[in-house]
Chains A and B, each alone.
Chain A
């Protein structure tokens, strides 16, 4: 079956630090890959996505590249801000009806 593995958390960084959150997947076929973010007290919202190999998704300074050879979709940001503090979920969609399989999520805290 499909699965998503995220690195263990939580992660605490100082403002302006570089961020990498690892995500690897197992899927049949050709999945689409997503990063969703959940700010405190809110539901999830799409951060970025990539629908085919070598695509790069980007938004709000975050980037992730769909690497088929390593089955990975790592999230990066060059300089984090306090406002980036949230829970980040990696997910894939590989079947009909846009069903998503999520990783466990990782909490990011950014200190001023």
Chain B
């Protein structure tokens, strides 16, 4: 069974802290994605990676960075957390074979920044 895991289900951080969210997939997928989910806004793409050490900005990259040192792991970094980054963060992975590929999602990390 395919699996995408995220390091924490719930996280509470203080404004200004550096925050790391980790995502691991066991499907040997080349593509990995980070989204944030907010009520009334749906899912918005923060960053994605189509290969190790490769990354591209999504629709809302400001305030975030990413790291992909190994194929199975994709990290989202909040350099200096702010209250407007309180959200649900979802990681996903897929094969790059074309537009019809399914993305597989992790369970999400609910982040609260105080």
Contacts and interface: CB of A to CB of B under 8 A. Distances in A.
B40 A98 contact: no
Contacts of A51: 99-100
Interface residues of A, number: 26
Interface string B73-102: 000000000000000001010111111111
Interface in A31-72: 31-32, 34, 36, 41-46, 49, 51
B31 A97 contact: yes
Nearest to B38: A104
Contact of A104 (B42, B45, B48): B42
B41 A104 contact: yes
Interface residues of B, number: 29
Contacts, number: 69
Interface in A88-112: 89, 93-100, 102-105
B99 A94 contact: yes
Nearest to B97: A98
A43 B41 contact: no
B11 interface: no
A36 B42 CA distance: 12
Given A43-B90, A44-B90, A102 B100 contact: no
Nearest to A29: B99
Contacts of B101: 93, 98
A30 B45 CA distance: 21
A102 B48 contact: no
Contacts of A44: 43, 90, 92, 103, 105
Given A43-B108, A44-B90, A89 B45 contact: no
Contacts of B95: 98
Contacts of A30: 99
A43 B100 contact: no
Interface of B: 4, 31, 33, 40-45, 48, 50, 58, 90, 92, 94-108
Interface of A: 30-32, 34, 36, 41-46, 49, 51, 89, 93-100, 102-105
